[in-house]
Amino acid sequence: MKAIIVTPGTPNSARLEEIPDPSIDDVPYGRGVLVKILRVGLDGTDKEINAGQYGTTPEGSDYLVLGHESFGVVREVGPSVTELAPGDHVVARVRRAGSSLYDRIDMPDFTTDATYFEHGISRVHGFLTEFYVEEPRYLIKIPQSLKEVGVLLEPTSVVEKGISQAYEVQRRLKVWQPGRAAVLGAGTIGVLATMALRNRGLEVVTAGLQEPPYLNSELVEAIGARYVSTERTPLPRIAETFGQFDIVFEATGFSPLIFEALCVLLGKNGVMVLSSVTGGSRRVEVASDALNLDFVLGNKAMVGTVNANREHFEAGVRDLAIAEAEYPGWLRRLLTHPVHGLDQWEKAFELLGAPGVIKVFVEVAG
Ligand code: BGC
Ligand code: ZN
């Protein structure tokens, strides 16, 4: 079958090649599920991997199949699979279990192992190909009504984990009732975080670089959140205008912003969620005494979040269903740039990060 593969560590190594077909017997005890891939979304992680800055091959392989945002349809199930049936639509979880305690209780997103296993990213092949075989526990069933937007589930799961972490941390407060959230960044993750927080009834202010109006600011405002441009309204002005926030969700990819946001945007007892995977080497000077004092006197918390496990994918399905019911057609507007067929992969990479682009995805099969 065809696949988009890379040689991790080598810049611009992406290429279309033939790789062996998977077999349903790759999973033992008749527990294999053969999935035909329909769509695969791309993001900054894929771009970094193709730039040679990130990514690891599976053991025994000299290449890595790219792609971690999948959507597909079950073709065949092994004799011992009861959870899924041919014709079901599914999204695969990205991370697979390693060996730490957390991996053993199906929370590989919290692994303490030195290495981690992620489809299309680290040590496991990805989904920019035609078929894959997986165990049922790594597959999430997508309702028929979400077929058109199912490819958004993986980035949504990342958002869901971040938000659930904020709520977990805030159990320390016994009576936490968040009313206001700020989302920093208005890319796919920022827009989806805005959606998930609006679904929970919060007032949301979403900050992006670009001046409104443009698609992302319109999407944010269409679901009752406020969009502000940080070019025109720097963080202190945001706090002056809207007050401080119970939750700040950081998804800009620009790490220097977090220090300012902590002092200026985050209210007393607030929690800030950091979700950007920043591969760079930026350094900034910070007012450390003031920052520390503000954190201590304000009982503030900050939590990092990566990846997602089954419960976050399932929360993502519920939030996508709520969004589809509450704002019909809204999710589809995020799917701005379909690219038809695996052989058009170069076009998909060119589109990543270009103006007007929210989600680039490859339509692998119809
Ligand atoms: C993926 C996550 C993954 C993270 C770190 C993101 O692009 O969506 O699933 O855990 O990269 O590799
Ligand atoms: Zn990703």
Instruction: Say what the pLDDT of residue 59 is.
Output: 97
Q: Give CATH for domain 157-304.
A: 3.40.50.720
The closest residue, in CA terms, to atom 12 on ligand 1 is 121
From ligand 1's centre to the CA of 170, what distance in Å? 24
d(CA 360, CA 335): 7
The per-residue DSSP string of 275-292 comes to -----S-------HHHHH
- Average pLDDT on 307-325 reads 98
For ligand 1, atom 1: residue with the closest CA = 307
Residue 103 CA to residue 99 CA, distance in Å, equals: 6
* Alpha carbons 118 and 244: distance in angstroms, whole number: 36
What are the domain boundaries of the chain? 2-149+335-363, 157-304
Q: Which of 116, 158, 309 to mutate to test the pocket of ligand 1 (most atoms within 8 A of CB)?
A: 158
pLDDT in tens, 94-139: 999 999 999 999 999 999 999 999 999 999 999 999 999 999 999 9
Give the pocket of ligand 1 (CB within 6 Å): 43, 45, 68, 94, 118, 121, 154, 158, 277, 306-307
Token pair for 132: 């894959």
- What is the Cβ-side half-sphere exposure of residue 110, based on CA atoms within 13 angstroms? 13
The interaxial angle of helices 257-264 and 288-297, nearest 10 deg, is: 40
Q: Which two tokens stand for residue 350?
A: 């060119």
Place of tokens 């049936």: 85
Q: Domain 2-149+335-363 class?
A: alpha beta
Per-residue pLDDT, averaged over 243-266, amounts to 96
Confidence (pLDDT) at 215: 98
Mean pLDDT of the chain: 97
| pTM reported for the whole predicted model | 0.98
What's the rounded mean pLDDT across residues 338-348? 98
Q: pLDDT tens across 259-306, in order?
A: 999 999 999 999 999 999 998 899 999 999 999 999 999 999 999 999
Class of residue 299 by CB neighbours under 10 A (exposed 0-12, middle 13-18, buried 19+): exposed
Half-sphere exposure of 121 (CA within 13 A, CB side): 21
The total of other beta-carbon atoms located within 10 Å of residue 186's CB is 30
The preferred substitution site among 42, 53, 66, 68 for testing ligand 1, maximizing ligand atoms within 8 Å of CB, is 68
Residues 29-34, mean pLDDT to the nearest whole number? 98
